[in-house]
Each structure stands twice: as structure tokens, then as C-alpha cells.
């Protein structure tokens, strides 16, 4: 079986293709905090340079204390990984998942993890005409006999934020049908009222609730690779036994501790993303043939059907101008007429809009 992991953010590959230095690429294809990591992350890494002569802490003790304090959860309910991606694959293997339910379009690694482990997936389409809203009863009707139901909240790539009531309703149904509900909150910290949406208060209270928490997006450090899974302690124990003992490197551990302290950076990030998302949305809505969907995270999905261009063509034209945008044709359920754009700083968002205008003008839209 050939499995393709298609994602945005491949600036090294694209820079090599274009013959450009990475620093000259404007990357709108990966959804990372436009402010970058809190400055204390760089200090922590520098201060710990000489520690690389040691193995990293296999139990991530300091990091675990920091995350438990920050999220108000217990250490026995947390496991860390080399990004959430590692933990998705580990979870599927540990549970020996035979069948998973996945509303699409969504993050593609859930399906790939299940299929590469020999399981099957049942995709439940989210309809564009209904703004990709979650049809909970349709999902419920497909649960038996699933091992896992994956929900991404807010959803990548649509940006939809699902209510806690919808998620808790699904959890109840999963509990009664013997399935696990996996809620991936990789982008939830960008939501100003995060406490009104996150399932964290329910972690540990249900033997069927699993939650993913990534430090990649909101803390602006995808290159460090750091993510966590929260869930019932018995499952965390099984995953701990099955994982590589030193799966989280030393810099990720000290960087994570530093990042979780900087409340000011978190606040600034939420404010910037909220303002810039609206600015970008309005700019995109003003471009000929562009229809952005409203989103609640740090990215926007755009229907470009009325430009007459495919997303592959538009992506290519932008690439020639040194701008990477996410061609969404690899997301099941989207076809070849959608792109996804990160929300970045005002200056970058202005340049993106101008580049699109030039490309669309050249394509005579």
C-alpha cells in the first residue's frame, strides 16, 4: 500500500524546487502562530544546550507538571509525544482499532493511521451547503461497531468550532456503544473563549474520552515536535508501555515548560489572530471568484470554484511568486476547488491579498 502524507508547510522541499532560500518563502500553507513561540522558548533551549549529552527525561516530569497545572488535569491522565501525530498512530495501534468513524473533510492523519494499521474507516461527509456543520445524529447512526470516532475541534481545514453540547452528546453515545471519542483540540487555544468549548474538564471522568493537545500550532514551534494525549489512566499506561522510551527530545521538553508560562504571549496571540482573521476574511471575500468560509481558528478555507481555476493551478501560480497556499484536494470530501490559508500578520496578509489579486488578474478572472 502506498500512503501519502500530504501537508502544508514543506518549506524545505518547496525552497529546493523554486531555487529560493527558505527565508524568502511566504508560507500560508501551515497554520502556525504568526508571532512565533514565546521568547522564553529560545532562552530555555540555549540554556540547555549542554544537556544534550544526556538522554531526555523519558517521563517528561517537569513538562508534565507544567501542562497539568496549565490544563488542570492529573499527570496519570497525560502522555506526551513527538507531536500529536505520533500519538494518533500509537493510539490506533494500542487499541488495535478495526474501524473508525471520521467526519470529512478533516485532518487526514486519523484515517491514514487507521488504514496503515489494517483497519477500515467510515467517512461521514460534512456538507459545504450546511457550512460543514457537524451532523451528530448521522455520526451516531454509524458508530456501531466502531472502536474510535474522531472529531477535530476546531476542525482542520474548515475552521468550524463545535459546541461542547454536541461533543458531550457524541461522548454519551460512544460510551453506550463501547467506542472511544477522540477530540483533537490542536487549534482550540486560538479560540478566545476556549473554556466554553474544550472537553478538558471531562478528561478522566469518562473511560471513553480521549483528547489531543498539540503545542505545535498555538505556541508556534512545529519544528520542536511536542504534543500530548489526555485520557483514562489505564489507556495512558498502555500507551506508555508501548511507546519509544525517549520519544520527546530534550529541547521540546524545556521549550514546552517555558511556553506554558507565557500567558501574555497567549493573550497577544488570540487578539492578533481574531483581528487578522477578520481582516483576511474581508480581503478574500473581495477577490473575484473567492468565497471564504467563516472559521474560528487561525486559518480560513476558501472555495475558489468561481475563479475557474483548480486549486492545483492556483497553488502553482502562487508558488511561482514565492507564496505557499494549501491545495485542499488531498482532503477527502473537498474536490479540487478549495484552498486553505493561515492567518498571519497584517503586513503578510496585505501581501497575500495583493499576490492573489495579481495572479487572478493574470488568469483573467
Ligand X SMILES: Cc1ncc(COP(=O)(O)O)c(C=O)c1O
- Which residues contact ligand X by CB under 6 A? 83-85, 107, 152, 156, 184, 186, 214, 216, 222, 227
Virtual torsion, Cα 87, 197, 331, 109, nearest 10 deg: 0
Q: How far is the CB of 226 from ligand X (least distance, A)?
A: 7
By beta-carbon proximity to ligand X, the closer residue of 9 and 292 is: 9
Q: Give the three-state DSSP class for 66.
A: helix
Q: How far is the CB of 357 from ligand X (least distance, A)?
A: 28
By beta-carbon proximity to ligand X, the closer residue of 216 and 253 is: 216
Q: Where are the beta strands (DSSP E) in the chain?
A: 26-27, 78-81, 99-104, 120-125, 148-152, 180-184, 209-214, 227-230, 291-292, 299-303, 323-324, 326-327, 338-342
Grid cell listed for 155: 476542525
By beta-carbon proximity to ligand X, the closer residue of 216 and 307 is: 216
Grid cell listed for 264: 501574555
- Give the nearest residue (CB) to ligand X: 83
By beta-carbon proximity to ligand X, the closer residue of 83 and 295 is: 83
By beta-carbon proximity to ligand X, the closer residue of 27 and 355 is: 27
Are the C-beta atoms of residues 99 and 121 closer than 8 Å to each other? Answer: yes
By beta-carbon proximity to ligand X, the closer residue of 67 and 309 is: 67
- Specify the long-range contacts of residues 136-143, CB closer than 8 Å, at least 24 apart: 136/166, 136/169, 136/170, 139/101, 139/103, 139/170, 140/170, 140/173, 142/101, 143/101, 143/173, 143/174, 143/177, 143/179
Q: How far is the CB of 260 from ligand X (least distance, A)?
A: 15
Q: How far is the CB of 272 from ligand X (least distance, A)?
A: 20
Q: How far is the CB of 245 from ligand X (least distance, A)?
A: 19
Helices and strands counted in the chain (H then E): 12, 13
By beta-carbon proximity to ligand X, the closer residue of 90 and 250 is: 90
By beta-carbon proximity to ligand X, the closer residue of 158 and 214 is: 214
Q: How far is the CB of 341 from ligand X (least distance, A)?
A: 14
Neighbours of 304 (CB within 10 A): 27
Q: How far is the CB of 150 from ligand X (least distance, A)?
A: 10
Are the C-beta atoms of residues 219 and 42 closer than 8 Å to each other? Answer: no
By beta-carbon proximity to ligand X, the closer residue of 295 and 309 is: 295
By beta-carbon proximity to ligand X, the closer residue of 107 and 353 is: 107
What DSSP designation does 52 have? G
Q: How far is the CB of 361 from ligand X (least distance, A)?
A: 32
Neighbours of 219 (CB within 10 A): 27
Q: How far is the CB of 209 from ligand X (least distance, A)?
A: 17
- Bridge partners of residue 148, in order along the sequence: 100, 180
Give burial (CB, 10 Å; 0-12/13-18/19+) of 255.
Answer: buried
Q: How far is the CB of 340 from ligand X (least distance, A)?
A: 10
Phi, psi (deg, nearest 5) at residue 105: -75, 145
Among 187, 9, 174, smallest CA distance to 106 is for 187
Amino acid at each position: 500500500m502506498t500512503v501519502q502524507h500530504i501537508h502544508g508547510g514543506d518549506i524545505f522541499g518547496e525552497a529546493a524546487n523554486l531555487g529560493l532560500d527558505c527565508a524568502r518563502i511566504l508560507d500560508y500553507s501551515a497554520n502556525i502562530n504568526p508571532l512565533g513561540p514565546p521568547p522564553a522558548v529560545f532562552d530555555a533551549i540555549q540554556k540547555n544546550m549542554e544537556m544534550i549529552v544526556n538522554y531526555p527525561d523519558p517521563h517528561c516530569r517537569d513538562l508534565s507538571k507544567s501542562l497539568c497545572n496549565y490544563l488542570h488535569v492529573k499527570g496519570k491522565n497525560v502522555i506526551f509525544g513527538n507531536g500529536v501525530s505520533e500519538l494518533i498512530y500509537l493510539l490506533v495501534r494500542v487499541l488495535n482499532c478495526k474501524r473508525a468513524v471520521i467526519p470529512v473533510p478533516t485532518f487526514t492523519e486519523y484515517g491514514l493511521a487507521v488504514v496503515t494499521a489494517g483497519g477500515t474507516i467510515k467517512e461521514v461527509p460534512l456538507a459545504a451547503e450546511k457550512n460543514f456543520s457537524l451532523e451528530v445524529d448521522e455520526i451516531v447512526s454509524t458508530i456501531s461497531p466502531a472502536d474510535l470516532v474522531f472529531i477535530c475541534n476546531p476542525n482542520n481545514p474548515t475552521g468550524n468550532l463545535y459546541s461542547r453540547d454536541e461533543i458531550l452528546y457524541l461522548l454519551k453515545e460512544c460510551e453506550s456503544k463501547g467506542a472511544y471519542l477522540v477530540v483533537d483540540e490542536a487549534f482550540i487555544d486560538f479560540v478566545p473563549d476556549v473554556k466554553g468549548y474544550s472537553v478538558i474538564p471531562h478528561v478522566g471522568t469518562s473511560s471513553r474520552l480521549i483528547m489531543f493537545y498539540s503545542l505545535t500550532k498555538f505556541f508556534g514551534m512545529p519544528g520542536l515536535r511536542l504534543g500530548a494525549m489526555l485520557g483514562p489512566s489505564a489507556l495512558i499506561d498502555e500507551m506508555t508501555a508501548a511507546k519509544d522510551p525517549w520519544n520527546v527530545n530534550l529541547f521540546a521538553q524545556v521549550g514546552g515548560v517555558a511556553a506554558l508560562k507565557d500567558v501574555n504571549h497567549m493573550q497577544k496571540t488570540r487578539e492578533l489572530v481574531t483581528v487578522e482573521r477578520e481582516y483576511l476574511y474581508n480581503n478574500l471575500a473581495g477577490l473575484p471568484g473567492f468565497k471564504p468560509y467563516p472559521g474560528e481558528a487561525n486559518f480560513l478555507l476558501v472555495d475558489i470554484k468561481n475563479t475557474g481555476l483548480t486549486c492545483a493551478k492556483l497553488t502553482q501560480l502562487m508558488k511561482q511568486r514565492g507564496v505557499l497556499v494549501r491545495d485542499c484536494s488531498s482532503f477527502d470530501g473537498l474536490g479540487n476547488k478549495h484552498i486553505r490559508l493561515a492567518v498571519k500578520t497584517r503586513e503578510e496578509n496585505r501581501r497575500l491579498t495583493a499576490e492573489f489579486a495579481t495572479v487572478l488578474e493574470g488568469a483573467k478572472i
